[in-house]
Structures are given as structure tokens and as C-alpha cells.
Structure 1
Amino acid sequence: MTGRPDLIERTEELLVLNSITTAALQGAGSVGLVVGPVASGKSVLLSALGEQAGAAGATVLRATGAQAEAGTPLSIVGQLLHQAPLDADGAVRTRHLLAVAARATGPDQLPADLVQALCGVLFDLSKTIPLLICVDDAHHADPFSLQWLLFLIRRLGTARIAVVLTERTARQHPRPAFHAELLRQPHCRRIMLGPLSHEGVVHLLGTRLETERAAELAPRVDALTGGNPLLVHGLLEDLRSSTRHSLDQYPAGLGDGFAFSQAVVSCLHRSEPAALAVARGIAVLGDQASDHLLGQLLGLFPSLVAGVIDGLHSAGLLEDGRFRHPAVRTAVLHDTDAAELSALHTQAARLLYGQGAPERAIAEQLLASDRPGEGWSTRVLCDVARQALFDGDADLARRSVEHAHRGCTDPRERAKVLTLLAGVEWQLQPGSATRHLPMLTAALRAGELDDRDSVVVVKYLLRHGRITEATHLLEHLLTLGRPIDARTASEVQTVKLQFSSSYPGALAELRPFGSCNVNQDRTPAAVRADPQLQAAAALDEVLSGRADENTFLGAEQVLRSIGLTYRHWEQVEFALLALVYGDQLERAAFCCEQLLGRVGRAAEGIRPPLLALRGLIAVRQGRLVDAERYATSALEQLPWNAWGVNIGLPLATLLMTYTLMGKYEDAAQLLNRPVPQAIYQTRYGMHYLFARGEFRLATNHPHAALDDFLICGEMMQDWDLDLPSVVSWRSAAARVHLQMGNHQQAKVLIDEQTKRLQPGPSRSRGLTMRLSAAVAELKYRPSLLRQAVDDLQRCGSRVELALALADLGYAHQNLGDHKRSRIMMSRAWQLAKEQSAEPIQRGLSSMFSELREEVAPAPATEVATAEAAGSTASATDGLSDAERRVAGLAALGHSNREIARELFITVSTVEQHLTRVYRKLKVTRRSDLPSDLCLVTSGSAWYAS
């Protein structure tokens, strides 16, 4: 019998109870009191005792207390006596006594003679048959039944009667006098039931599952149920149901099943009256729950709450004042009426706000209530939304600001919240934010937005390419002539630079910048302290030709420290553009990768424009495969119409990449896509025109290409953005003139571009030196091209480096140095192949064909060399810095003496370095050196560090 699953770890308790019934059978009346938490198995134990007592010859009379009948006089007595096997006269007499007793119940207790007469019915019956009286849930018994039970128990003596009661564990018994009197009886024994031990849980699980699986699940089940048998049985039922579908999947959702949920609810409904309310309060308050706060929320005394919480701990539902598992909380919430739950959350928010609780905790209550909040709730929800964006919690940010907007009735406050909502949506899904722009522009014109939010709306319009509206609204704002604070001044300065750097075509329409009454500290210290100003200052210095190393360090500092939120995108863009237009491509690529790694779900709207910038960096580095991937991904992640004029940047990058890779059909399809007409008023239009010109030049339309380059140049000159590092339109136009035989026009353009170069090596100088060589006398070309190669090596511009190497090889060939020519062209071919630059590969093959030398296809030895170099490229990581510098120059065809002179070392040192390089890379000659050594630069050392 004790092997039953519902009697696991109850053997000793059942033996004690059997000894009580045995004593009664032998004429020694006895009493047992079984005490345990709710659902701990008291009723099961009592039922098993009744079965065994009945088998032993006793007559079992059963009664069950119920909370609903706790006020019904003699409800327990009636249940017992109506089951008694009385003869007809005895039954009539008993019914009469119960009727009289029901009418005679006073405010406190029954008359003693009636109690004695009712007890006499059982005493007389026990003379002929032994009795076992079982009262389950005695804590729900009415006072008169308890009076009768005590009278009976005190007079058991030698009667063949055993009385066994069960009651729920409680900090304070509801009938303390009855409890004290019962326990002082000498023939009364108390049996305490506790939760199942770990071994008990394993045993119970083993009745339904394989032994190994039971042992594996037991720790999780124990933690989830606290050893409460009813909860464990609920889990078992869910496990059994789920294994019908997949035995391997059922542990994943442990606690999420219907049977477990019902077991939780059953425990609460069977607990003391306030237990369900307290459980609901804990479910609502979560980590903020305390005895005092629960009492305020539910209108209960804290002491009562503390007692109920003790009971819930004993039942295995709580641990350290919190639900053991989210599934328990879910079950409690699902059992609560929606209107009641909403009211609890609303009251909880009010209480938490009054106590100065964390704003996030208050916001969670407001959101859960799904009701309009009070006046203070709007500020709380908006603050939480901003912080949630910073923390990466996209869902909380969106829900908070949407709830604030729904509950806000004041026009000015509602417009402010709508500004935040548009920003949140732009950060999460830019395309959806455009729907708010009409209302925001109307609010701005109506004077419902403060100055800072007004500037933010202007930035929204610019982001979506609505330049005319942005221009008019900013003009409207600035002509008001009222003083603005420092933070708003930073926003104005950002928008000003945004117009001058990205939308310069519209800047001419804005005259009131100077009339804006701005009180702003523009000292260097103030600029460094404000990331917004620092980013703007960095880009301004680059575009005005005043940039130095401090400029780029400042831009990097901004990118390292700035948060990726809707308010900070312009700072991110400015700082990255400062690095890109300053020809700091490796630094820009590193920072951009770091930013992309930080983009989470709460900043998905920032990813597409960030990818577009990463593509621009990659194509300038000559990393065509990467550029194609970044630009394509940017265009895929944001609908075409959501880009506005900003579509020009990823479109130009992809167009340029396709052109350099020889994918002319793909490029032509891009050009067939319509772009906003306003794009030609923007920086994005410059990039687009330049890329279109490159495509036209590559596809033998030089005149159309020249038009695009010259128009691009006119725009840059008009807008005061005429820097080669922004768009090198002069070098592109010079190439067209060279192709058409107009050497003099090409030289004029190249000389003009040379004057505009910034000091020091750069990608722009490398491009310019390569073209300078094209218009120079043959004897001067190698020197100019070596300088171009050196500059392009330093900035890591692979495709441009391949072209410069090819030109250098061709120059050496014309000068009769065939060996060096083959090395240069081989290196160029390798670089072009690595980046899938098919037109360059074809051009090199054509050049070699003309010279009766082939670099591709096989069986040329240079192709084998290139493949071998590719296979050893990863081995270059094992070279020291000195070895890499020597090997890099050797890979470019320099002699040992030239390398020694370049690096200021001896020829013997060069020979020693090369010996070690050959051994490490397992090559035997210079032509076998991998092509990535051509990119060794001292200028990239900062990146390695």
C-alpha cells in the first residue's frame, strides 16, 4: 500500500496513524492531528488510513471542513452522524437531536446536554463496532463542531474510537483555544508533514519516467516545486502529455504546462482566504514586493500578509519572498480577472511613485495596467523609454513611449512625447517613423514644441530626405530671435553642419543662422566636453582643410564613447565622415566595425546607414567584396523609399563596386532605379554622380562620364567642399581627358588637385601621384609611381594600389627593365584577383599579351606564383615587423641595396631578414612572396596596437 506514488515518504506517518487506530480497536481511544502545508498530502494520508482501518474491521466516518461552511453550525457533526450505521430508531433520534441543536446554537456554544447527547450517539455505537472518525481540513470547521469534537475527545477513555484530524500549517491558528486544548490531551499525537526531499522527488518522478531521466530532472523539479507533492504531480502530468509528442523536448518548457498551472491555482484556492490576494499582489509587484507595500496594495495588515507569505513558502510556491519560478507567477496572473489585474497594476504604480521607487519599476506597472496614467506618468514613461534605448531594450522603449502618447491629453506635452516616439521608431524601424512627421511639423508651426525638440524634428526631416520642409521649419525657428540654451545651441550647430556637409544645396536658402541668439561656449575645452560639438568640429576641420592628428583622435573618442540612440546619429555620422574624408580609412573601418558590433535590437534603425558608411570605407580601401556585401545589406535592411536622399550613399557605393568588379549589367540595373530629384542638392548626390561617371567611363561613354565628373566638381566648388579626399573629381576627369588624348587638359586638372592635397601621405595623394606620372615624361614616371605605391600602401587602398603597380610595371617595361616589370604586374594581378576586380585582371592580361608575356591565364608562371602566394598569406602573421617591412619592399621588386637605403639599414641586414622570411614562408624567391606584403605600412601600426 505504501508503495503508492501519492504516499512516497509518508510511510512513517502512516505507521503512527495505524498505531492510533490499533489502540482504538483494543479499547483505548486515541487522537491524531496531522499538520502540514497546503497540498502536502494530508488528505491522501487520511484516505489511506481509512482504507487500512476499514480492512481491519473499523467503521470509518469521514467529514471535510470547507471554508464556505465555516459559518454553518454543526456542519462537521452532521456529516459524521449521517454516515453512522444506526438502526431506524437511532437514526430518527439523531436527526431530532441535530435539529434541536441547530435551533439551540447560541452566540458562543451549544448547551452541554445537547453536546453530550450527540456524542452519546457515537459512544453507544462504538460498543458494538470500533470507529475511526476522520476530519479533513479541520481548520475550516465551525465553532460548534469543534466544541462537539473536544467534548468527544476528552471522554474517549476506553471507548473504541479513534479520531484523526488534519489541518493546514499556519503561523497563528484560527481557533487557538481549540488547538491548545486538543494538544494537551494525553492520548493526542501530532504528526507533521513536510515537503518531499530530493530523494522523494526522484522517487516520484521515477514512477513515470526512466530512472536516469528522473535523476536528471529532479534538481529542476525540486527547485520549481519546493517538494510540494501536488505541484510535482502536476509537472509529471505535463511531462507525460508532452512525451507523447517528443521525449527529447519536454524539459525545455518545464512548468509551462496546463496541469502544473492548475496545481498552482489549486494550492492558492485551498490556502487561507488572503493567500490568493497576496499571491496576486506578489505577482503584480515582483521584486518591489514587501509586507508593507503588499498591505497597502491589498488593504491588509502587514502582519497578516507576513503570515500568509509564510504559508506560501511552506507550500513551495515562494522562496525568499518571490515565486520560485516564472511559471508560478504566470499561473497566478492567468487566474486573475483582467479588470482586477489592471486595477492592481494602476494602484501599484501609484504606490511605487509615491515611495520614490525606480522609474523602470513604475513604468512596468503603468504598462501592465493598460490604462491612461496620471499627469506624472508621462514623464516617467518617457524617461524610461530613453534609458531603455540606451540599455538596448527596444520593446520597453517602444511600449513606454506609445503608452505615454496614448494617455497624454495636453497638446504641448503630447507633441513632446510624439517627438520622442518618432525618434524611437526611427531607431528601431526608420520607415515607420515617417508617419509622425506631418503631425510634428504642424506642432512645430503651432508653437507646441520647445526649441530643442523643434531642432530634433528638423533633423528627422533631413534624415528622411525632406529637405525643403526642413529648411523652411529651421528658418521659421531661427527667425523667432529668442535666446536658446546650450544644449539647444549644440543641436543647432549640428544641424548647421548637417546642412553644410550633407545638404549644401539648401544652405543658400538659410540666412538666419547668424541671427540666432545662441549663448554657447565654443572654447576647445567646451568642445571636447560635448560629444555633439566635438564630432561637428572634427568634420568641420576636415572639410575646411584644417585637420590634424588631434582632429582624428577627437573623432575616435566620440565614436568610442557615444551611445547609439536616435539623438546621436548625426554625431556618429560626423565623426566617421571626419575619418573617411580625412583619408583615415583603417581607423574609420575599425571604428565602424566596433559600432556595428554594438548595434542591438534597440538600434536596428541605425544599422542600415551605418552599413552604408562601412561600404563607402570598404570601396575606398579597395575591398570590393566587402563593399558589395555592406552596401547590399544596407539597401536590403531598409525599404528603398525610407532612405530619402540618403539612398545616394549606398547606391553610389554599390554602383562603384559593380563597376570595379566588371558587373556592368548589375550596375546598369541600379542606374535604372529612380532616385529623388533632391539628391542632387546633397553630398549623396556628389557620390552618386561620381559613381555614375565611373560606370560610364568603364562602359566606353567618356563624354557622358566627363559631364558627370565636371557637374560633380561644380557642385563641390559651389558648396565649398572641394577636397580631393571627399570626391576626387579632378583625377577622374583627368583620366577621361587622357583617354581622349587631351593631355594638356588632364595636366591642368592634376596640377590643380595637387595644390589641394593635404600634407603627408594619403590615399588622395597616391591617386594624384599616379595620374601625375601619366602626364610626365617616361623617365620620371617610376619615381612618381613609387611615391603613389608608397602612399596607397600606407592607406591600404588595394584596387588603387593594383593600378599603380600595373602602371609602374608598364613604365619599367618601357624602360627595358622586364624583370621588374613582371614582378610589378604580377603583384597587381594578385591584388586585383583577391578583390574580384575583373577589368583590371583583363587589362593586365592584355598588357602582357602585347609584350608577349602572360600573367594569366595558365600556364603562365605568374599565375602559379599568385596562387602559391595566396596559400602562404596567412603565414605572414609569423613575421616580425622588421621582416614584414623588408619583405614588403622586396615583394615590390626593390633590390637589396634599394631596400637598405629606404629603411636606413645595411645590405647584410636586408639579406638576413629575407633569409628568415623565405624560411618562414617556405618560398625560394621574391616573386613567390604573398601579395599582402605589398600592404605593409608603418602608418597602420596604430591599428595593430
Structure 2
Amino acid sequence: MVRTDHDTALTELMGLFEDCRAGHGGLALITGGLASGKTRLLNRFCAHAREAGALLLTATGSRAERALRAGVIDQLFHGAGLPPAVADRMSRVVSPRADEESGSDARTMRQGCAMMVHEVCSAVLELSRERPVVLGIDDVQFADSSSLQFILYLRKRMASARVLIALTEWEQPQPTLPVFHAEITRRQHHRIGLAPLSEAGIAALLPDRPDLAPVWHRVSGGNPMLVQAMADDLAAGITADDERAGPAYGRAVLACLHRWEPYLLDVARAVAVLGDERDRELVARLAGTTPDVADRAERILTGAGLLTDGGFRHAAAAAAVLAAMPVAQRSTMHTVAAELRYQRGAAASTVAAHLLAADRVVAGWSVPVLLDAAEQAMTGDDAAGAVRLLELALRDGDQRLEVTKALVRALWWTNPSAAAAHIGPLHAAMWVGELRGRDAVTLVRHALWTGDQDTALRALGMLADAPEPLDPQSAAELRMIAQWFHGRGPVAAAAEALSAEGDDPWTATARTLGAIWTGQADGATVAAAELILSNSWPGHTAPEMVATALLILAHGGGTERAAEWCERLAADAARRGAPTWQAMVEGVRADIALRRGEAVAAAARAEAAMGLLLPQGWGVSIGYPLSILIAANTVLGRHAVVEQLMRLRVPEAMFDTLCGLRYLHARGRALMATGRVLAAISDFQNCGRRMRAWGVDLPALVPWRTHLAEANLLLGRPDVADRHLSEQLRMPGCDKRTRGESLRLLAAAREPAHRSALLREAVECLRDCGDRAGLARAMADLGAATPGGEPARAIADWADPVLSESERRVAELAATGHTNREIGRALYITVSTVEQHLTRVYRKLGVTGRADLPHRLASAPVR
């Protein structure tokens, strides 16, 4: 059968109507798949026929009324426009006999039914003598047997009558009315098979947006009902595409399914529950039917534009079907799907997805599956998904300790404060010697994160006495985690003892990095930091370890290189969904920005870091980003903001950690900036006492003497300031930034005749370390100390065309024709960073674009 479009079909029907007016009765059978527009076409034709003067008799078959005898006939003769006398007569003819059996065979009738059909047909033929009569019957496949026999009886007697019967029928792989069809096709009739809407047909319906036709055709399969629904959504401001669809589209999907046979809805629900990975047998078992019926249903739904290749054309269609299911039924179907797939040996992640959707644990086998799936989720950078799976598994009593350990590990990467609710079983396991490896690391980290040094010391002692040593990576991580919080205190010493010996790479690297806490960091320390960073990613390496390596790199390898690593690692953490890791890296980014004199950037990044975790989620580490935020806003003169920040509640245990030292130092600077110099001195002195007591009195870590000296200068005590600064300059671990700032303040404490030399050295130090704000202060002081020449020379030195290593790498790639995007991919930096580097390169080399780079690079020195 040739398929035709709606407009052509309407033209054919109007042609048949003209034949009818000329006295040639006819029958048109309009067929098509589900929601193919049969009803709409019939209604359009009936409206034209009425306007052309025809008497219109209409009815609609209904699955619910199929058992009602003569139900369609009764509808035909209760329509508007029928002469009252005829309506009354037909009411008397049909009603008394409507309940009489007509027989199951459309070719035979019992006497009572035959008499009724004869009288009704006679009435129709009589009416046709006055004007053309059109009988429009929608969904004839649901008509009762008496009404079907009426149609056949009339068809045999209307060849020369002005009668046209227009029927619509749902076309299925297996005919629903084979006997009726056999009788209809024995005589001349006109069959109109409706085709789905084409792209051109959809475009014609969208004169203002023909560009939407291709995607709408993909989404709808040409189903007119779905196309109309998308048009309704479009009018409401929602444009359907391959990724999304509006609410009208979802309602249309449900309307289609609920209008048809129940088994189609069952199969559609099964397909929606199973998702992409399914086969006919699985769909059949879940839908409670046979594979043949499931196959037939899928073919019907595919023809209707809902499915393609066995799955829903659009995710919104599947979502609508699932959302409309009763909750209990949806849960049961997902549970059955999980069991079926488990029996078939499906992947744990596939089975677990059904258990999660069912929100149900099946005793006996589901907990191991959920554990396996959670491990896969963590490997696939979906810590949040792992948490959901493990929280479900925790409802069952099986393997409770294993589930809890995995849950605490997963929560650590997403929400450390939530991990506290589940840490109890890990404590119990630790005290009986059942906790090892990464789970022991998790327990100690949690204790340190919350400031519980007693638990950390006890756990570390048990690990040291255990018959089997920790694996090298776990021991190295514990060492660096403890150092991040306490530097060289008792906890750090206990952790160091776990990896004090051996030549394993993890052990050796951690030992080398530990040099930072003695002020003996050198090139090997910086190289070890790069090695750690090159082998770190969320879920694999402790964030405290990464943060330590980044700070070592910033102090000894240059802030630009450290900033590049931060950018790369922060992006990686964001992509992998590890907010704890990302928050720590963002905190270091803020720290580096502050060291470079970029207070605005430092404040923004510190605020971003704090926003990634709840305040309680930070534990005692809250002191790190909070101290940077206070310091940056102090530099910017945002004293009201600083006052609010200093009123935030912080854990008391924070002050027993290095984060607490940073906080005291930042608070002291803020107090000094607002004239509360004595209170500031108390904070600086408190900070200094703690650092000396803990064995971490390192200027590069917290330069408390710098600002204690500055406070004394404000109080008019230059000799005290000189003593503190001179002591600091003699100490190991005094990096260039600290040295430059110390020299600048020392110049202020000395006699004018000695200031210029100190300030020139301060300028050099601050220029080398990249602290722009500090450099500006030092140059201003130099200008004030030696009017007429020195500041100009200092500025000229700063403007010398000396490229950093990072700038040189970017410039060389740009000079060879690489685009900014290509350079970013090659160097693992963003396009924005590439642009910033090039801007500095152009300024330093005095060029206006890439064309001049090859020549100028040959003579440009590199710092």
C-alpha cells in the first residue's frame, strides 16, 4: 500500500465525496499507525463535507464500549443535524434490540439484530435521497459486532446511493478484524494509508521556524501528535531538540500510550525501566508477556515514532513514562529488572542502577553488587554516585563494616562533614586491629581534620606496632597529612616513623618533601614536589599531600609554575566531581595569588574554595582559606568585610594546627590595619610562641616577625623592629618574598643613609619572586629614600625583556604558528592563561603580534 501525506489524503476523500454527490456510494478506509493523524484527517474531511451540504453522522469506537451492542449505531443517530422524526424512530429501533446477541461472525446475524440493521440501513438510504450522507466512524477496530454488521450490510446496498462511509482503523502487524476486512475488501473500496509527517511536512507546519524540522523529525518520528505537542511547547518558550523537550511533549507521549492497548503501555514501561541495554526476552519478562508480543509491541511503538532501534527516540519520552508510573510499580519493576540482570551476569553498575532506582535492597546478593558498583563509580570519578549506592547498601546488615569503610572513603571526597556520622565503626575496627591501608589513612585523616590528635596518635601507634607494615603510598600519605596539619609535632613524628626507612619511591619522595619543615628545601625538594603532582589525581592521592607539594613548588620553583599546576589540578578535580580535593587546590591558588600581590584574585579564589565545602566540612582546615580571605581583604582595605570574616566561628582545635597559625597571622594583620596594634602584636607573638614550640619556626611558612616588626614601627620602636627583622633574615627557609619584605621594613627601621642599599635588594627579591604589590611598595620607598634616579632605574630594570620559563614556552609555540587553543592543550593550561602569557611577552619584547616573535625570541633572555 502506498503511503500518502495528510493533504493528499484529504484531497482523495473530497474526490470520493464528489462521487458520492453524483450518486456513487463509496467506502474509504483510512489506516495508519498509532497517533498517525487518522482522527485529525477524518475530522477535517467531515468538516468539509458538512460545509458542502452533507448530512454528517459520526461515531467513535471505544475499547471500553466494545461489548455494548449497537453502540456505534447509537452514536450515529444521536448527532446534530438529524431530522427529529428519524432520530426518534432510530431510538425506538436500536434501543430494544441493542442487547441482543448478533453472533461473533461478522458475516452472520441473528434475527433480531438483522431486523435492526435492516431498518437502520433503510433509514440511511432514505436520508440520502434528500442530500448526501457521510458516515464518519473513528477507530473502527473498537466497534461492536452489531455495528460492524451494519457497516457491511449498508456497504452492499449503497452502490448507487449518495452515501459515503469513512472509517479510520489502527494498523497493526496482525489485523484485529480479519473477517470484517475480508468482507470489506470483496467490494470496491478506497484504502488510504497515512504516512508519518516528513521533514518537509513538519517544516510546513513551522513557517517561522523551518530550521527546527530536521531535529523535530528525529524526535517525533513524524508522529503528528508529538509534533503538535512540540509546537505547543515552542509557543510557551521551550524549544525541543535532541537534548530536551517540554512538558507538552511528555504529556503527548503518555496520551498516546494510554489511548492504546494495555500491553503496549506495559512494554513501553519495560523499555523505559531497562534503558539502553536490553533484548526482547528481557523486555517480555519485565512486561509480563511473551517475546512475540513484546516484539510486536516494539514494532508498533516504533511505527508510532516513540521508539527507534528498540529504545525511546528521546530521553524525555522515557522520563515521562517513568514519572507517570505509580511509585510502587516502578520500584517493583526496577527490582525485578535488577534480579533478571543479576541472573544474567550483567555488570554490577547496571544491576546497581536498578536497585538505586527501586530504592530497595534485595537480601542475599545485592550488597556485594552495590559495593562493586560503588568501587567502579569511584574509579570513574563519580564519588557522589558511589555515596548513593553505599548509603543504599548500608540499609542491609550484610558486610556492614565493608560498606561503612567504602562510604566514609567516598564521602571524604564530596562532603567530609557527612563522613563523621559513619566514622564510629571504623574506630571500633581500628582498636581491634581490623583496619589497614587506605582505610587506616582515612581514619587518621578524619581525626586530624577534626582536630582529634589523641585518636590520631593512638591509631598511628597501633599501625606502628602492627605485624605487617603499611604499604608505602599509605605510609607516605599519612606522613604528609600529619605534616600538613602539625609540621613537626608529635603526630607528625609518629606518622614519619611509619615511613622512616626504605628506598621505595613513595617513601623517598615523602622524606625529601619533609625537608621543607626544617628550612632545608632545595632543588631536590622542588623536583620531588613535581613528581608528586605528576602522579596525583582525585580519589588516588590525599589532597593535603598535593597542597604541600604545590606550596613547595611556589616557594622554591616559582609561583607561575605552581599556579599552572593549580589551574590544571583544580580543573581535573572539578571534572572528576571531587569538591574536597578541588577546595584544597583552590585554597593554594588563592595563597599563590596573595604571594604574587594579586589581592583581588586571592580573595575571589579563597572565597570560591570556602564555597566548595560547608564550613563544618572544612574541619580545622578552615583556617587556611579563611586566613587568605582575611589577608586579601585587609590588603584591599575592605575592613567591614574583614570584621565579618573574623566573627565566623572556627573550631578551637584549629589553633593547635598550622592552619591556626596562618589564621592568627592574618587576624593580626587585619587588627593592625585598623589601628588595633597591641591586639595585633598579641596575635603575632602567640603565633611565634607556637611555631617555636612546635619546631616549625620557618619564615616562609608564616612570617610572623615581619608584621611584628611592622607593628613595632607603628609604635615608634624601630630598634625592636630591627632586631626581629635581622633575626628573620638570618634564619633558614627565608624565601625571596619574605626576604624582600623584611628588607623593605628593615630599611624603614634604619637610618636614611642605609636605606637605599636595603631597598634596592628588596626590589630585586620582590621582582624575582613575582610579588607585584610588594615590589610596588619597595619601589615607592626607594623613590622616597633617593629622589631623582633610583626609582626610575628600578622601574626600568623591572621592564627589562626577561621572559619567565612559562612565557618562553608559550612564545615559542606561538612563534611556530600554533593557535592559543593548541598551545593550551600542549602545555595543559587554559586559553585564558595563554593569552595572559602572550600579553606579557608582547610587552616585554616590545612587539605587537606573533609575526615579530621569531626574531625577538632569539635575543630575549630567560629568567
TM bin, normalised by shorter chain, reads: 0.7 to 0.9
Per-residue Cα deviation, 1:58-99 (whole angstroms, up to 9, x for no partner): 766555432234456665577679999879999878778766
1:174 matched to 2:176: yes
Give the Cα–Cα distance (whole angstroms) in 2 for the partners of residues 239 and 82 of structure 1: 39
CA contact (8 A) 1:769 1:787 kept: yes
Q: Per-residue CA shift, 1:213-248, capped at 9, x if unaligned?
A: x546656655544443334444555666x4xxxxxx
Partners of 1:665 and 1:341 in 2: how far apart? 54
Secondary structure at the counterpart of residue 289 of structure 2: coil
**Contact 1:456–1:491 (Cα < 8 Å) also in 2:** no
Aligned twin of 1:866 = none
1:407: Cα distance to partner? 5.0
Query: Which of 520, 523, 545 in structure 1 is aligned with 2:504?
Result: 523
Q: Which residue of 1 aligns with 2:36?
A: 40
Q: Secondary structure at the match of 2:468?
A: coil
How far is 1:626 from its partner? 3.6
- Match among 577, 580, 591 for residue 551 of structure 2: 577
Change (3 A) 1:333 1:651: closer
Distance 1:493 1:367, change over 3 A: same
- Is 1:616 aligned to 2:591, yes or no? yes
Q: 1:667 to 1:287 in 2, by over 3 A?
A: closer
Q: Which has the larger radius of gyration?
A: 1
* Gaps in structure 1 of 5+ consecutive residues: 1-7, 206-210, 243-248, 528-532, 831-872, 885-912, 918-935, 940-945
1:741 aligns with 2:719: yes
Aligned residue among 456, 459, 472 for 2:445: 459
Distance 1:621 1:90 in 2: 96
Residue 490 of structure 1 corresponds to which residue in structure 2? 473
Which residues in structure 2 correspond to 1:362-381 (within 5 Å)?
A: 362-374=351-363, 376-381=365-370
Provide the C-alpha distance between the structure 2 equivalents of 1:743 and 1:235, rounded to a whole number of angstroms. Answer: 75
Q: Secondary structure at the match of 2:167?
A: strand
| CA distance in 2: counterparts of 1:459 and 1:353, whole angstroms | 37
Change (3 A) 1:339 1:672: closer
Aligned equivalent of 1:878: 842
Aligned-pair distance for 1:168? 0.8
Distance 1:880 1:535 in 2: 38
- Tell me the distance in 2 between the aligned counterparts of 1:523 and 1:395: 33
Q: Which residue of 2 aligns with 1:194?
A: 195
Which position in structure 1 is the counterpart of 2:142? 140
Quick check: 1:234–1:259 contact (8 Å CA) kept in 2?
yes
What is the rounded CA distance, in whole Å, between the counterparts of 2:338 and 2:840 in structure 1?
62
Change over 3 Å in CA distance of 1:593–1:695 after alignment to 2: same
Give the superposition deviation at 1:819.
4.0
Tell me how far 1:139 sits from its aligned partner.
Answer: 2.1
Cα displacement string for residues 98-119 of structure 1 (whole angstroms, at most 9, x for unaligned residues): 66644xx479974687886666
Aligned AA for 1:191? I
Cα offset, 1:732, TM superposition: 7.1
Q: Match of 1:645? A: 620
Contact 1:802 1:828 in 2 (8 A): no
How much has 1:171 moved relative to structure 2?
A: 1.9
The answer as to 2:225 corresponding to 1:230 is yes
* Cα displacement string for residues 804-824 of structure 1 (whole angstroms, at most 9, x for unaligned residues): 65676688x5xxxx6444546
Partner secondary structure for residue 262 of structure 2: coil
Secondary structure of the equivalent of 1:34?
A: strand
Q: What's the offset of the Cα at 1:167?
A: 0.9
Residue 556 (1) aligns with residue 530 (2): yes
1:552-571 Cα offsets, whole Å, 9 max, x none, are 34433543563335963223
Distance of aligned partners of 1:234 and 1:746 in 2 relative to their CA distance in 1, 3 Å threshold: closer
* Matched-pair contact (CA < 8 Å) for 1:224–1:324: yes
Taking a change above 3 Å as real, the CA distance of residues 128 and 809 of structure 1, as seen in their structure-2 partners, is closer
Aligned equivalents of 2:630, 2:248: Cα separation in 1: 60
Task: Letter of the 2:361 partner, please give it.
Answer: P
1:348-497 alignment runs, 5 A limit = 348-357=337-346, 359-374=348-363, 376-381=365-370, 396=385, 398-406=387-395, 410-420=399-409, 422-426=411-415, 430-437=416-423, 441=427, 444-445=430-431, 451-476=437-462, 478-479=464-465, 481-483=466-468, 486=471, 489-497=472-480
- 1:275 corresponds to which of 252, 264, 267: 264
Q: In the alignment, what sits opposite 2:833? A: none
SS in 2 for 1:288: coil
Give the root-mean-square deviation of aligned CA atoms: 5.3
Aligned residues: 804
Quick one: structure 1 residues 58 and 358, their matched pair in 2 at CA, closer, same or farther if it must change by over 3 Å? same
Residues 534 and 555 in structure 1, CA contact (< 8 A), matched pair in contact too: no
Question: In structure 2, how many angstroms separate the alpha carbons of the residues matched to 1:34 and 1:883?
Answer: 76
SS of residue paired to 1:31: strand
% of aligned pairs identical?
A: 32
1:32-58 Cα deviation digits (max 9, x unpaired): 221112333333444555566677787
Q: Per the alignment, in what secondary structure is the counterpart of residue 165 of structure 1?
A: strand
Amino acid corresponding to residue 556 of structure 2 in structure 1: G
Alignment pair present for 1:590 and 2:568? no
In structure 2, relative to structure 1, the CA distance for the partners of 1:548 and 1:512 (3 Å cut) is closer
Q: How far did 1:187 drift?
A: 0.8
Q: Secondary structure at the match of 2:36?
A: coil
The reply on whether 1:502 has 2:485 as its aligned counterpart is: yes
Contact 2:387 2:407 (C-alpha < 8 Å) held by counterparts: no
User: Partner amino acid for 1:456?
Assistant: T
1:339 deviates by 1.5
2:790 pairs with 1:794: no
Residues 414 and 578, structure 2, Cα contact 8 Å, conserved in 1: no
In the other structure, the counterpart of 2:324 is 335
What residue identity is the alignment partner of 2:195? Answer: G
Q: How does 1:45-194 map to 2 (within 5 A)?
A: 45-47=41-43, 49=45, 62-70=58-66, 101-102=101-102, 105=103, 110=108, 120-121=118-119, 124=122, 128-130=126-128, 133-141=135-143, 153=155, 162-183=164-185, 185-194=186-195
Do the aligned partners of 1:235 and 1:260 also contact (CA within 8 Å) in 2?
yes
| Residues 30 and 162, structure 1, Cα contact 8 Å, conserved in 2 | yes
Structure-1 separation of matches of 2:770 and 2:52: 96
2:802 aligned residue: none
Q: Distance in 1 between matches of 2:184 and 2:743?
A: 107
TM-score (norm 2): 0.75
Contact 2:257/2:264 (<8 A) preserved:
yes
Give the AA of the match of 2:473: S
How far residue 700 of structure 1 moved from its aligned partner, in angstroms, is: 9.6
How big is each residue's C-alpha offset from its partner over 1:322-364, in whole Å with a ceiling of 9 and x where there is no partner?
4344443344334322221222222233334444555554444
Distance in 2 between the 1:12 and 1:745 partners?
Answer: 100
| C-alpha contact 1:32 1:165 (8 A) present in aligned 2 | yes
CA spacing shift, 1:582–1:646, aligned 2, 3 Å: same
How far does residue 297 in structure 1 lie from its aligned partner after superposition? 1.6
CA contact (8 A) 1:36 1:194 kept: yes
Residue identity in the other structure for 1:749 = E
- Give CA deviations for 1:583-636 in whole Å, capped at 9, x if unaligned: 633322232233344453833444544343233323333434444444455556
Bigger shift: residues 93-102 or 190-199: 93-102
List gaps (5 residues or longer) in structure 2. 800-836, 849-855
Deviation at 1:436, TM superposition (A): 4.3
**Contact between 1:367 and 1:400, CA under 8 Å: does it hold in 2?**
yes
In 2, the alpha carbon distance for the partners of 1:569 and 1:239 equals: 47
Aligned position for 2:821? none
Question: Structure 2: which amino acid aligns with 1:741?
Answer: D
The answer to whether 1:309 aligns with 2:298 is: yes
CA contact (8 A) 1:762 1:794 kept: yes
What SS does structure 2 have at the residue aligned with 1:195?
Answer: coil
**Structure 1 pair 770–641 and aligned structure 2 pair: CA distance change class (3 A):** same
1:242-263 Cα deviation digits (max 9, x unpaired): 4xxxxxx454899966655443
CA contact 1:255–1:261 (8 Å) conserved in 2: no
Q: 1:539 aligns with which of 504, 513, 527?
A: 513
Q: Secondary structure at the match of 1:483?
A: coil
Whole-angstrom CA distance in 1 between matches of 2:92 and 2:724: 127
How far, CA to CA, are the matches of 2:73 and 2:682 in structure 1?
107
